[in-house]
C-alpha cells in the first residue's frame, strides 16, 4: 500500500495532486504546527500581469509556536471570501472552462466556513472529484502517531500498514532511510516535472494553484498534471 503525507494547502499546486494520485491513501497532516508564510493558507493564481497571491486571513496574533493547523481560525472581519471569488472571476472569466466550474466553486465562496480546516477539506475534496482522483483521504489528527519529522512520518506509515511511502523531494533532507528500510517500508521520492499548458493569458506561469489548470483544461487536467502517466482511479 502506497502512502503519501502532506500538510493541508489552499488551492494546492499540480505536484500536490500528482502525489495523491499515485497513492492508495493520502494523509492530510493537520495536527502539526502551522508555519507562517507557508502554502497552508495561500497560493497563486494567474493574472494578465503574471501572478497574484490569494491568502486566507488567519487569527494567529500571539499564538505562534503553539498553533496546530487543525486549530486555525479564520479572521472574521476581512471579507476575504468575496474578494477571492471576485479575483478568480476577474482573472479566469476568459478561461475556456470557467463557466463550467463557476457554479461548483462560487457557492463555496458564498458561505462562511465554520473553521479553516473544514473549508480547506471541502475544497480539496472538490478538487479531487473534479480531477477524478479516488485516493482515500485520512487526517493525521485521527491517526495514532508520535514523534517529529522522519519519526512522525514513519509512525503514520506503520499505523496504516504502508508498504511504500511516497515522499516529496525535500524528504531526502530529513527522512531516516535506514529506519524505513528496517521497518520494511520502501521509500520513493517525487521529483515532479511540471508540465506547460495553455493558460488564459499569454505566456506560461508555473506552479499555479490547481484551479488554473481546471479552469483551462477541465477533464483533461489529470492527464496533463500526471505528465501523461496512466493512473488507475
Q: Is the pLDDT of residue 231 over 50?
A: no
Closest Cα partner for 34 from 73, 81, 3?
Answer: 73
Is residue 226 within 8 A of residue 21, CB to CB? The reply is: yes
Question: 38-82 pLDDT, tens per residue?
Answer: 999 999 999 999 999 999 999 887 666 678 999 999 998 779 999
- How many Å is the Cα radius of gyration of the chain? 18
Q: Is the dihedral of CA 207, 210, 215, 220 positive or negative?
A: positive
Residue boundaries of the structural domains of the chain: 2-119+127-225
Question: 86-111 pLDDT, tens per residue?
Answer: 999 999 999 999 999 999 999 999 99
Amino acid at each position: 500500500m502506497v502512502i503519501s503525507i502532506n500538510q493541508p494547502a489552499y488551492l494546492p499546486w499540480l505536484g500536490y495532486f500528482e502525489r495523491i494520485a499515485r497513492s492508495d491513501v493520502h494523509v492530510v497532516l493537520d495536527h502539526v504546527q502551522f508555519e507562517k508564510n507557508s502554502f497552508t493558507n495561500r497560493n497563486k493564481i494567474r493574472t494578465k500581469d503574471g501572478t497574484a497571491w490569494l491568502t486566507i486571513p488567519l487569527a494567529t496574533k500571539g499564538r505562534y509556536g503553539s498553533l496546530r493547523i487543525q486549530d486555525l481560525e479564520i479572521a472574521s472581519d476581512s471579507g476575504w471570501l468575496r474578494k477571492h471569488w471576485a479575483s478568480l472571476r476577474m482573472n479566469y472569466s476568459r478561461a475556456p472552462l470557467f463557466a463550467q466550474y463557476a457554479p461548483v466553486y462560487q457557492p463555496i465562496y458564498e458561505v462562511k466556513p465554520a473553521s479553516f480546516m473544514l473549508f480547506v477539506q471541502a475544497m480539496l475534496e472538490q478538487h479531487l472529484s473534479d480531477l477524478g482522483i479516488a485516493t482515500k483521504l485520512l487526517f493525521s489528527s485521527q491517526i495514532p502517531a508520535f514523534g517529529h519529522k522522519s519519526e512522525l512520518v514513519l509512525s503514520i506509515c506503520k499505523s496504516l500498514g504502508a508498504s511504500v511511502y511516497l515522499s516529496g523531494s525535500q524528504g531526502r533532507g530529513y527522512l531516516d532511510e535506514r529506519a524505513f528500510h528496517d521497518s520494511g517500508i520502501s521509500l520513493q521520492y517525487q521529483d515532479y516535472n511540471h508540465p506547460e499548458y495553455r493558460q488564459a493569458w499569454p505566456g506560461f506561469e508555473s506552479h499555479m494553484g490547481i484551479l488554473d489548470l481546471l479552469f483551462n483544461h477541465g477533464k483533461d487536467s489529470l492527464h496533463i498534471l500526471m505528465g501523461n502517466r496512466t493512473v488507475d482511479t
